[in-house]
């Protein structure tokens, strides 16, 4: 029967278990998976030996005849969750060298991410000294029966990753309550770390491939928007491929680094991804730092060409004569756009619709450089910081393992993309996760930004202490009604700013200062 179930799961869900041999560990042992769907037990059970039992709620088991059929059997360990003796029964079974599967969240995740773990789990670890195996069910949150807001698939690809055997850390806790809290926190940290490590090991190794993976699931999802237009994944990748083709004819041979001098508009992430498609490394120049600093940074990075826009240079009144005087060629997007024929647009759109991965012209490994950013120069001459694909993806995956972002989240980003905070969290995170990002050209429009955020129903905002004070002076308290996350970086948050936002808007400011500057 077990072999038949595994065959069906493999045919329908391309199911694949990892590190399955760890399940032969003798008791007492507790297997703790994340809980994202109604049929998690089926995928876990297909890997277990006969003596493993699932801890189930006796109350839920009597909901219907189907619940009773599944939840009351020789493979389950029913308990009454309202009884103070429930944990004692589980502890006694473990102390008798039992092996149990416990969904420690106590309910199916409503976010698709790891929710809180009940302290009873920590009590079991303290009382029994049982060893622990954590399990990460990857991809199952997209099943149609999963009660989370992510976009669903009828038969998503599912993997289950089992951790090595873990021994709960010993401690000199003065009371059982403190030991229970400490061990529950330790277990949750281990589960989040496992998610990050699995995604790093088994997920895409480059940023463009990570975006393509999300685009393949939802090609018609509107993922990017600026003040002029919105782009679906399909149109975004089509633009990336067309621009990559136009750039390939103009870029100097043998030169890896290419400058980018553009504002917060759709063209900027399109340009970055087009350069990644060609295996080039964009050096994003800080246009607000002045002509002399821009020229210095371009020389520091050894740039010979810079992608920019005539319209942007005219509106921002930027002086780029220093770049031209240094022998740096300016590649204007307007000129590149004219080289693209209407037939090319249609053919590329059709190809991307059939095979989104065709946009990746030159696959990149994680240790390859992805982007060059420049420091503010507060300590003298600005320094160039070279970040790899693995660096940026690690930041994104760390945030996704800690914060409960979903496909329905909407990011508002007015911070410039020439800083790591605005680029990684403000733009790339949404593109990789499959969410939505709105790019606004300036964070200084204190009256306009709250109104646009309100109009777009954005749930995530990135800002700084200075800008938050400006928005607080001009905004209506209802403007930020949809916000779930407010991240602040670039400078330390003042206590008065945090209190103002909590009292007036009911929003907690999460400080990223320090971490984002590393």
Of 480, 182, 209, 473, whose CA–CA distance to 366 is shortest?
209
Q: Enumerate the β-bridge partners of residue 437.
A: 224, 411
Is 126 a known active-site residue?
no
pLDDT of 516 above 50: no
Task: Give the integer Cα–Cα distance in Å for 232 and 236.
Answer: 6
Residues in Cβ contact with 458 at an 8 Å cutoff, skipping those fewer than 6 apart? 410, 411, 412, 438, 482, 483
Point out the catalytic residue in the list 35, 93, 141, 161: 35
Angstrom distances, CA of residue 212 to CA of 85, 190, 236, 355, 437:
50, 29, 10, 10, 16
* pLDDT tops 90 at residue 115: yes
pLDDT at 402 exceeding the cut of 60: yes
End-to-end CA distance of the chain, in Å? 53
Q: At residue 320, does pLDDT exceed 70?
A: yes
List Cα–Cα distances, 72 to 56, 122, 476, in angstroms.
Answer: 8, 25, 54
* pLDDT for the residue numbered 377: 62
| Dihedral of the alpha carbons of 319, 323, 328, 330, in degrees to the nearest 10 | -10
Using a pLDDT cut of 70, give the percent of the chain over it.
98
Instruction: Write down the pLDDT at residue 452.
Output: 96
Which CATH superfamily, name and number, covers 2-202?
Glycerol-3-phosphate (1)-acyltransferase (3.40.1130.10)
Instruction: Specify the CATH number of the domain 232-402.
Output: 3.40.50.12780
Cα separation, 260 vs 291, whole angstroms? 14
CA 442 from centre of chain: 24
**Runs of H (alpha helix) within 46-118:** 58-61, 65-71, 86-95
CATH 3.40.50.12780 location in the chain: 232-402
pLDDT of residue 183: 95
Torsion of CA 440, 225, 406, 472, to 10 degrees: 20
- Helix axes 342-354 and 233-250, enclosed angle (nearest 10): 120
Average pLDDT over residues 450-454: 96
The H or E element spanning position 106 is none
Under 8 Å between Cβ of 158 and 137: yes
Lowest-confidence segment of 279-283, 320-324, 410-414 by average pLDDT: 320-324
CB 35 within 8 A of CB 41: no
Separation between Cα atoms, residue 193 and residue 350, nearest integer Å? 40
pLDDT of 64 reads 87
Q: How does strand 159-162 pair with strand 131-138?
A: antiparallel
pLDDT at 518: 43
Q: Cα Rg for the chain, rounded, in angstroms?
A: 26
Find the mean pLDDT for residues 220-246. 96
Tokens of 240: 């990336």
Query: How much is the pLDDT for 288?
Result: 86
Return the half-sphere exposure (C-beta side, CA atoms, 13 A cut-off) of residue 80. Answer: 4
Distance CA 298, CA 172 (A): 56
Start and end residues for every CATH 3.40.1130.10 domain found in the chain: 2-202
pLDDT tens for each residue of 477-511: 999 999 999 999 888 889 999 999 999 999 999 98
φ, ψ for residue 289, nearest 5 deg:
-90, -5
DSSP state of 175: S
With a cut of 50, say whether residue 116 has pLDDT above it: yes
Q: How far is Cα 511 from Cα 483, in angstroms, rounded to an integer?
A: 15
Kindly list the distances between the CA atom of residue 355 and the CA atoms of 23, 219, 237, 340, 358, in Å, as whole numbers in the listed order: 39, 11, 11, 20, 6
Tell me the C-alpha distance between 190 and 33, whole Å. Answer: 11
- What gap in Å lies between CA 227 and CA 134, rounded to an integer? 45
User: Taking the C-alpha atoms of 43, 49, 55 and 61 in order, what is their torsion angle to the nearest 10 degrees?
Assistant: 70
Q: Which DSSP state fits 331?
A: E
d(CA 466, CA 445): 12
Distance CA 303, CA 183 (A): 52
pLDDT over threshold 50, residue 515: no
Residue-level pLDDT at 204: 95
Cα–Cα distance measured from residue 273 to residue 359, given in angstroms and rounded to the nearest whole number: 9
Distance CA 180, CA 120 (A): 7
Can you give the pLDDT at residue 465?
93
Q: Which of 80, 120, 69, 75 lies closest to 100, judged by CA? A: 75
Q: Which of 243-247, 286-290, 349-353 has the lowest mean pLDDT?
A: 286-290
Tell me phi and psi for residue 131, to 5 degrees.
-80, 160
Question: How high is the pLDDT of residue 157?
Answer: 95
**How confident is the prediction for the chain on average, in pLDDT?**
92
Residue 344: per-residue pLDDT: 93
Cα 41-74-141 angle, rounded to 5 deg: 5
pLDDT tens digit sequence for 66-85: 888 888 888 888 988 888 88
Q: Side by side, which strands form the sheet with 230-232?
A: 230-232, 222-225, 436-439, 410-413, 460-463, 485-488, 509-511
Take residue 267 and report the two structure tokens written for it: 């063209």
CB 392 within 8 A of CB 424: yes
């Amino acid at each position: 029967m077990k072999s038949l179930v595994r065959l069906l799961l493999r045919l329908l869900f391309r199911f694949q278990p990892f590190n399955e041999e760890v399940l032969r560990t003798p008791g007492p042992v507790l297997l703790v998976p994340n809980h994202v769907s109604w049929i998690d037990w089926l995928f876990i059970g297909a890997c277990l030996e006969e003596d493993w039992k699932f801890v189930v709620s006796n109350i839920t088991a009597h909901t219907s005849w189907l619940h009773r059929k599944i939840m009351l059997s020789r493979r389950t360990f029913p308990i009454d969750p309202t009884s103070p003796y429930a944990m004692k029964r589980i502890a006694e079974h473990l102390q008798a060298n039992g092996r149990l599967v416990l969904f420690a969240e106590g309910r199916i995740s409503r976010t698709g991410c790891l929710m809180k773990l009940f302290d009873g789990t920590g009590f079991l670890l303290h009382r029994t000294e049982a060893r622990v195996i954590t399990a990460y069910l990857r991809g199952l949150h997209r099943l149609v029966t999963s009660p989370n807001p992510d976009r669903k698939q009828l038969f998503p690809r599912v993997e289950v990753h089992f951790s090595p055997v873990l021994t709960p850390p010993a401690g000199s806790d003065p009371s059982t309550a403190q030991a229970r809290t400490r061990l529950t926190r330790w277990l949750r940290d281990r589960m989040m770390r496992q998610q990050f490590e699995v995604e790093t090991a088994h997920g895409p190794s480059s940023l463009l491939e990570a975006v393509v993976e999300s685009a393949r699931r939802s090609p018609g999802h509107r993922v990017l928007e600026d003040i002029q237009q919105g782009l679906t994944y399909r149109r975004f990748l089509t633009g990336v491929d067309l621009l990559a083709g136009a750039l390939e004819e103009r870029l100097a041979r043998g030169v890896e680094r290419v400058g980018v001098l553009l504002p917060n508009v759709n063209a900027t992430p399109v340009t970055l991804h087009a350069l990644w498609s060609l295996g080039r490394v964009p050096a994003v120049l800080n246009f607000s730092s002045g002509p002399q600093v821009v020229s210095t940074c371009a020389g520091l990075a050894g740039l010979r060409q810079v992608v920019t826009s005539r319209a942007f240079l005219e509106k921002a009144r930027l002086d780029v004569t220093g770049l031209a005087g240094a022998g740096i060629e300016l590649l204007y997007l307007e000129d590149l756009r004219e080289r693209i024929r209407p037939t090319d647009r249609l053919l590329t759109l059709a190809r991307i619709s059939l095979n989104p991965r065709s946009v990746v012209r030159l696959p990149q490994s994680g240790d390859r450089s992805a982007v060059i950013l420049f420091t503010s120069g507060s300590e003298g001459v600005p320094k160039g910081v070279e970040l790899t694909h693995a660096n940026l993806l690690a930041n994104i995956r760390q945030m996704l393992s800690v914060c409960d972002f979903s496909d329905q989240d909407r990011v508002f980003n007015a911070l410039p993309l020439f800083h790591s905070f605005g680029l990684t969290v403000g733009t790339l995170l949404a593109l990789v996760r499959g969410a939505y990002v709105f790019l606004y050209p300036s964070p200084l429009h204190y009256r306009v930004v709250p109104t646009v955020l309100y109009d777009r129903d954005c749930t995530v905002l990135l800002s700084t202490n200075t800008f938050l004070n400006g928005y607080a002076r001009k905004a209506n308290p209802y403007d930020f009604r949809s916000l779930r996350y407010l991240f602040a970086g670039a400078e330390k948050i003042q206590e008065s700013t945090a209190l103002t936002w909590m009292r007036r808007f009911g929003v907690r400011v999460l400080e990223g200062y320090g971490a984002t500057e590393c």
